Structure 1
Amino acid sequence: MTAEGSSMSRSRSRRIRPYTLTGGRTQAKHELLVEALVSVPRYDPGLSATLMPESRELYESARARVSIAELSVAVAAPLGVIRVLLSDLVAQGAVYVHPTAHTYHHDREMLGRILDGLERLSV
């Protein structure tokens, strides 16, 4: 993103209230951790053209795998707003949220496989 594009984003986000961008919603429909990586599986320029500016900026930025925290900085919008807008894009199938370690937190089989792999590395 260019410095000019970044400054345009910042000035636009300051003028528009966050609740306007999210339609008054404060909770994302999907669990989106700040460290989660997102990407665009199949880029669609037609879809991009129909999105509101902040969502379009998220969609375009996620063409390269990027964290939700980085997207919040790039769009210069509060993290809660980013989560709601990204959740909408996830629901449309426009972006993919990559699994995090938290995803496997309660999966004993996965934790066992990770432990086995770590033990093999130490031998």
Structure 2
Amino acid sequence: METLVHSTLPPYQDISGLIPEYQAIITLCRQVRSVAEISALLRVPLGVARVLVSDMAAEGFVQLHHPQLDAGQPDFNLLERVLSGLRRL
């Protein structure tokens, strides 16, 4: 859920041949987003967003960054970003 995602494709690359969900995720992830943000912005269940992002990572369309937690403590910067994203909705 807190995994960060960003597009590996350049903005000028034609993505019109991809399925609409992939196109939307690539467009959203031109800025780094969490899987939870992707789920909320696309209005799809979290599980669906996780599968789509996982499939896209396997195909090389996006890159994943897993935040490291210090001794089980949450990353406050990540929590602030998620909260900010939720407020924008």
Say whether the fold is shared (TM-score over 0.5). Answer: yes
Q: What RMSD, in angstroms, separates the aligned Cα atoms of the two structures?
A: 1.9
Q: Equivalent residue for 1:68?
A: 35
Q: Distance in 1 between matches of 2:43 and 2:35?
A: 12
Instruction: Kindly indicate whether the alpha-carbon contact (under 8 Å) linking 2:2 and 2:66 is maintained by their aligned counterparts in 1.
Output: no
Letter in 1 for 2:68: A
- Structure possessing the higher radius of gyration over alpha carbons: 1
| Cα distance in structure 2, aligned partners of 1:98 and 1:82 | 16
- Greater fraction of residues in helix: 1
1:76 aligned partner, one-letter code: R
The structure with higher relative contact order (CA 8 Å, sep 6+) is 2
2:49 aligns with one of 59, 72, 82: 82
Q: Which runs of 5+ in 2 are unaligned?
A: 72-89
Instruction: Find the aligned partners of 2:63 and 2:18 in 1 and give their Cα distance.
Output: 17
Deviation of residue 56 (structure 1)? Answer: 1.1
**Superposed counterparts of 1:1-123, under 5 Å:** 34-43=1-10, 45-46=13-14, 48-101=15-68
What code does the residue aligned with 1:64 have?
Q
- Note the C-alpha offset of 1:37: 0.6
Relative to the length of structure 2, the TM-score reads 0.69
Once the two structures are TM-superposed, the CA of residue 50 in structure 1 deviates from its matched residue by 1.5
- Residue 38 of structure 1: CA displacement? 0.4
> What SS does the aligned partner of 1:38 have?
strand
Deviation string 1:63-99 (CA, Å, 9 cap, x unpaired) is 1001110000111001111111111110111100012
